[in-house]
């Protein structure tokens, strides 16, 4: 006799409308717990104690599993026993006092303003390809767009005179402003670079590769790696690094989170919250280093 997980799986699917992957994740975690408990002579959820569960958590940690994996297993057991307690299948929830291990929060990689400036100065403005790369980098940092949104831009999406563009992804669109530097780079590319890359071809896309076709994610990823190396940037950056840097620099300079959320296209402001946390941590570090009694 095990924990009786099939009923819980049905509850997740039919009542909570959880996805298949979510249900599979819960089942996988709980099957491992069930096996451990049976091997230690514990049968049925009504016989499980907090001591049993803490021993299991210690067992997972000794296996060398990551803190995130152990925390996910704790979340799975909490969900299951909370469900069992709610159905009055058990008299007490053994997970009530169980705490997941603390996960150290990892902030996204960002560049300093000086590093961004060096990166943006790398493309050669003497050749069409360099003009395109300069315009792409400037626009990416000026708007915080995702790289898929950047390479999907069409000529009609851009209004250089007014300094705004419309970007689209997954059926959603938003209007983004951009500054003078980005506008100038795009104008120069349109005047002196794009036609040379097209070589007589026609394309609706703003940015094209050397064959006159739409730029690819992989192609732009390689470009940013190349320019980062030329700029002497040691961080292993990606196109998304410029998006993170854009947002972090806005918050550092006083932009409110709601505005940054709208610009980035985050559905939940909690996702944007990380940039404020990063700014608070930066200020704390500056204070500790600079204040005589820090």
Active-site residues: which are they?
146, 240, 243, 266, 275
Where on the phi/psi map is residue 208: left (φ > 0), alpha (ψ -120 to 50), or beta? beta
Contact 123, 224 (CB under 8 A): no
- Report d(CA 128, CA 194) in Å as an integer: 7
Alpha carbon distances (Å) from 86 to 8, 23, 73, 79, 91: 12, 19, 20, 11, 10
Where on the phi/psi map is residue 113: left (φ > 0), alpha (ψ -120 to 50), or beta? alpha
The β-bridge partners of 177 are: 164
**Buried-state track 153-181, b at ≥16 Cβ within 10 A, e below 16:** beeebbeeeeeebebeeeeeebebebeee
Contact 224, 238 (CB under 8 A): yes
Percent helix, percent strand, percent coil in the chain, to nearest 5: 60, 5, 35
Angle among Cα 93, 98, 103 to the nearest 5 degrees reads 145
Report phi then psi at 53, rounded to 5: -70, -40
């Amino acid at each position: 006799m095990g924990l009786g997980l099939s009923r819980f799986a049905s509850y997740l699917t039919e009542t909570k409308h959880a996805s298949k992957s979510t249900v599979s994740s819960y089942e996988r975690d709980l099957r491992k717990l069930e096996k451990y408990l049976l091997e230690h002579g514990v049968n049925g959820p009504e016989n499980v104690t907090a001591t049993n569960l803490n021993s299991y958590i210690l067992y997972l940690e000794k296996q060398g599993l990551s803190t995130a994996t152990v925390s996910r297993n704790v979340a799975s057991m909490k969900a299951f026993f909370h469900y069992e307690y709610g159905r009055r299948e058990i008299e007490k929830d053994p997970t009530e006092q169980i705490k997941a291990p603390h996960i150290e929060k990892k902030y996204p990689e960002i560049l300093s303003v000086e590093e961004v400036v060096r990166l943006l100065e790398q493309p050669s403005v003497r050749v069409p390809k360099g003009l395109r790369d300069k315009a792409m980098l400037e626009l990416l940092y000026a708007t915080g767009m995702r790289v898929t949104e950047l390479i999907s831009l069409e000529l009609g999406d851009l209004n250089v005179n007014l300094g705004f563009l419309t970007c689209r992804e997954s059926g959603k669109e938003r209007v983004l402003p951009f500054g003078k530097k980005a506008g100038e780079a795009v104008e120069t590319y349109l005047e002196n670079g794009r036609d040379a890359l097209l070589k007589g071809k026609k394309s609706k896309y703003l940015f094209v590769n050397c064959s006159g076709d739409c730029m690819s994610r992989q192609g732009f990823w390689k470009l940013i790696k190349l320019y980062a190396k030329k700029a002497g940037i040691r961080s292993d950056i990606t196109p998304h690094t410029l998006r993170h840097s854009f947002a972090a620099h806005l918050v550092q300079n006083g932009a409110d989170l709601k505005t940054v959320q709208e610009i980035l296209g985050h559905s939940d402001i909690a996702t944007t919250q990380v940039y404020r946390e990063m700014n608070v941590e930066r200020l704390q570090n500056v204070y500790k280093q600079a204040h005589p009694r820090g």
